Amino acid sequence: MKNFKFLAAFGLIAALVWACVEVPNVVTVSAPGITTLDQDTDAADISFTLDVPGGYASSTVSVTAGTASITAEPDAGATTGTLTVAYDRGDATATTVVATLTVTDADGETGAATAAISLEFAADTVVVVDTVTVEAPVAQFDTTIITVEVDDVDTDFEIINITDTGDGIGSVTLDSDEGGANRIYVLNGFVFVNESQTLTIEPGTIIKGASGQGENASALIVARGGMIDAVGTAEEPIIFTAEADAILPTDGVEGSLPNNARGLWGGVIVLGRATSNNTTNDNFIEGLPETDTRSQYGGTDDSDDSGDMKYVSIRHGGTDIGSGNEINGLTLGSVGNGGTFEYIEVIANKDDGVEWFGGAANLKWALVANCGDDSFDYDEGWHGNVQYAFVFQDGAGDRAGEHDGGPSDNETGEPFATPTFANFTYAGQGIAAETNAIEIRDNAGGFFYNGIITDFDGGIDIEDLNETDGDSFNQIAAGNLVFNGIQWFNVDDAIIEQDYPSDDPRGSDVAIADNAAFGNINEMDPAYDATYTATSRAAGVDLSTLSLDAFFTNTTEPGAFVGGAWHAGWTLWAVTEL
C-alpha cells in the first residue's frame, strides 16, 4: 500500500511538472513558386501562407536586390493567414532575386521562408563587354564577359552559359581560371553528360543553375555510360549553386544567398547500370520528365563506374518540375561502387539532400543541412555504404533518414535495401518540430552502427504491418536490420519503435529498444562543441569485429566527427554557421 501511495504521488508530481513544461509552437511559413517580372514589369505582390499556433505578432522581409515591404498581414494573435509582400525591382541587375520573410509569434518563436523572383531584361539594358560563342564538341557554350570591381580593381569574368542541344555536353573540362580568365558556368535547362562522354570539373570551379520550373528547370545529369570527374580540394571545393547566388571565383566558399534559400535551380543527378529491385532496368529517374531516354537508369553491374565526386558543395537546389516532383540535391540512380563519392555537402535543397534509387554507390564524409524534406533517402534496393555523415536541420525538413525497401509494385523483390551506415550524427530541429530521426518501411533493412541522434520528437520508427513478409519489422528476424552503438539525447518518444498503421487493431506503437537485434543503445548528452563534434561519447561498437566492407575505417566511437572536423573550411554550412 505504501508503494502504491508513493507511485501515485510520484505520478501526480510528474504530471504537474509536465504541465508546467512549455513546448514551443512551430511557426510555419509557406512561400509561393517563382515570381517572374518580364522586362516591362517593375513590381509584383508576393503572397506567403502562415501557420502560427502561438499567435501572429510581427514579420520582417529582406531581398537580395531591389526593395520589398509588407503591405498586408494577419491580425495580431491570428493563428493562420496570408501575408503580402510588395516587391519593386528598382535598379536591380540580378536575374534572380531572393525574398526572405521571417515571422515571429507572440512567444518569440520564429519561422522563415524564401521566395524566388526572376527578373527579365530588355536586350539593350544588359551591360556586356563582349560576347563570344565557343565551339564546344557538342553543347552550345555562349560566353559573356562582365567587369566587376574586386578589391578596388576592375576584374573581367567570363560567364559561360551551357545549353544542351540534344547531344550532351561532350567530353569537356570546366576550369575556373583557364588561361588566367575568371570563369563561371551556368546551366541553361537540363544538361546531360551522355554515354561515352566525360565531364571534368577542376578544383575551385563554380557552376550555377539558371532559375526555372517545369520544362525550364536546370540540372546536371550524368546519363548511363557517362562519366563525371569532379574532384575538388579542401582549399578549392567545386561549387554548384543557383544563378541568383552572386558568388565569384575570387570570393572563396561563402556566397550571397541565405542558408535557407531553397528551390532556386535543380541539382546533380548521376545515373548508372547497377542493380535495383525494380521490375525493369529502364526506369525514369525521379525529378526529370519522362520524355528523354537519357533519364533512364538501371542494369546488372554493381561495379559500374559513373566517375568521381570529391569536395563538392551543392546549394539552393530542388526546383519543382511539376506536380510536386522536385529534384534532390544529389540523386544517385542505380550507380555502382566503381566510382568515388567523398566530401559532399548538400545545403538548402527544397527536397531531399541525397537520395539513392537502387545501386551500390558508397558515400563517405557527407554533410546535409537545412533541406526542406529528408536528408538521406534510399529506395529500390540500394545496398551501398555510408560513413561519416552529418545532418543538421534548421527550421525546416522532415526526417534525417527516410528508408524505403522497394517500389510499391515490388517491395519484396531483391536485392533488398540493406545499406550500412557507420559514424553518423543527426541533429534535428527539436521536439516541437514533431519529426522522426529515421523511418524504415516498405521492407527496407539496413545496418546502423556508431550513430548519434539528438533533438527529434521521435527516434527510429520501423514499419510493422503485421504481415509475414513485406514490412521492415520482419527484416529484424531475418538479420537484415541492426542498430548497434547508438547514442541518443533529447528525443521525446522511444528511441526505437515498432510502427503500426494508424488503423491497426493492435493499438499504439510499441517501443522495441530492448529487442535482441539491437545492442548498445545509450542515452547520453553528446555535449557538442562548436563544430558539432561530440565531446561526450557513449560506448560504440568496434567496427573491426563486424566483418564490414573494406570501404569502412575502423572506429570504436559514435558520431560523424570521430576523426576530426572534416567539414571545416570548405563547406558553406561550416563557414557560415560555426
Which grid coordinates belong to 527?
A: 555535449
Per-residue pLDDT of the chain (578 residues; tens, 9 = 90+): 434 333 333 343 333 333 444 445 778 888 787 788 887 889 999 999 999 999 999 999 988 888 999 999 999 999 999 999 999 998 877 667 888 888 999 998 888 778 878 777 654 333 333 434 444 446 888 888 888 877 888 888 899 999 999 999 999 999 988 766 689 999 999 999 999 999 999 999 999 999 988 888 999 999 999 999 999 999 999 999 999 999 999 899 999 999 999 999 999 999 999 999 999 999 999 888 888 999 999 999 999 999 999 999 999 999 988 666 789 999 999 999 999 999 999 999 999 999 999 999 999 999 999 999 999 999 999 999 999 999 999 888 999 999 999 998 899 899 999 999 999 999 999 999 999 999 999 999 999 999 999 999 999 999 988 876 778 989 988 999 999 999 999 999 878 887 777 776 666 666 665 444 577 888 999 999 999 999 999 989 999 999 999 999 999 999 999 989 999 999 999 999 87
- In this predicted structure, what is the pLDDT of residue 257? 95
Looking at residue 423, what is its pLDDT?
Answer: 98
Helices and strands counted in the chain (H then E): 3, 38
State the pLDDT at residue 120.
73
- As a whole number of angstroms, the distance between CA 135 and CA 525 comes to 58
Helical spans, DSSP H, in 148-246: none
What pLDDT, on the 0 to 100 scale, is given for residue 15? 39
Spans of all domains in the chain: 28-119
Q: Specify the 3-state DSSP secondary structure of 234.
A: coil
How far apart CA 386 and CA 367 sit, in angstroms, is 12
Tell me how far apart the alpha carbons of residues 84 and 464 are, in angstroms, rounded to a whole number. 45
Report the first-to-last Cα separation within the chain, whole angstroms.
Answer: 55
Rounded to the nearest 5°, which phi and psi values hold at 401? -140, 120
Q: How many CB atoms lie within 10 A of CB 167?
A: 12
pLDDT the model gives residue 431: 93
* DSSP annotation string for 253-291: S--SS-TT---SS--EEEE-----SSS-S-EEPTTS-TT
d(CA 111, CA 116): 17
At 520 the pLDDT is 84
Residues whose CB is less than 8 angstroms from the CB of residue 110 and which lie 6 or more positions away in sequence, other chains included? 27, 102, 103, 104, 395
**pTM for this model (two decimals):** 0.83
> 28-119, which class in CATH?
mainly beta
Residue 99: per-residue pLDDT: 86
